[in-house]
């Protein structure tokens, strides 16, 4: 297998990983929509029930308040997961080495090369050598795999959070129906 075929396989692998990262972003956006609808429904039920809660302090009111607190604690945790999913750490220093300068990763191209001429000469050298370019591609596959893993861990936790938010929202709605 020649170098061009190897590079093509590596590019396909990198593209697959980047598509996985996009899938994680889509999933977290869908979850955001579900959470926003849930928040609106819960706030509507809270607004309906507040007059009763302010007048009456009973077991039902206490459970209702507890469910509201739980709901919003879970929502805060979800929004933390949401932000950490969409804004992953793009640094590579802890994954490869501090002196690593990728000729593929846009952040390195714009921040680690002083100017166009330095980047041009680095990319020319990597392409001519072949092994340097292949090594850079493999490093990007590694780094992007770490990013994809990070994102999917957060998405998994966000799905778990949705379960608890649905339970607390159902409790709020259920109790809200019994409040006059």
Q: What is the pLDDT of residues 9-20, one digit of tens each?
A: 888 988 899 899
User: Structure tokens of 50?
Assistant: 């507040």
Buried b / exposed e along 88-123 (16+ C-beta atoms within 10 A): beeebeeeeeeebebbbbeebbeebbeeeeebeebb
172 or 111: which leads in pLDDT: 172
Q: What is the pLDDT of residues 49-91, one digit of tens each?
A: 888 888 888 888 888 889 999 999 999 999 998 888 887 665 5
What pLDDT band is residue 97 in, cutting at 50, 70 and 90?
Answer: low
Whole-angstrom Cα distance, residue 136 to residue 148? Answer: 18
Location of structure tokens 């996009």: 22
What is the pLDDT at residue 91? 57
- What residues does each domain of the chain span? 18-178
Say if residue 3's pLDDT is above 70: no
């Amino acid at each position: 297998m020649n170098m061009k075929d190897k590079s093509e396989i590596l590019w396909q692998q990198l593209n697959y990983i980047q598509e996985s990262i996009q899938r994680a972003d889509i999933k977290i956006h869908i979850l955001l929509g579900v959470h926003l609808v849930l928040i609106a429904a819960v706030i509507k039920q809270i607004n309906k029930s507040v007059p009763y809660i302010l007048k009456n302090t009973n077991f039902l009111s206490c459970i209702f308040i507890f469910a509201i607190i739980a709901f919003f604690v879970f929502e805060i945790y979800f929004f933390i997961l949401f932000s950490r999913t969409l804004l992953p750490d793009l640094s590579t220093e802890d994954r490869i080495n501090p002196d690593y300068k990728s000729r593929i990763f846009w952040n390195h191209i714009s921040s680690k090369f002083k100017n166009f001429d330095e980047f041009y000469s680095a990319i020319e050298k990597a392409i001519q050598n072949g092994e340097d370019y292949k090594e850079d591609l493999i490093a990007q596959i590694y780094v992007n795999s770490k990013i994809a893993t990070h994102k999917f861990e957060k998405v998994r936790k966000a799905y778990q959070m949705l379960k608890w938010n649905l339970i607390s929202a159902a409790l709020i709605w259920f109790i809200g129906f019994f409040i006059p």
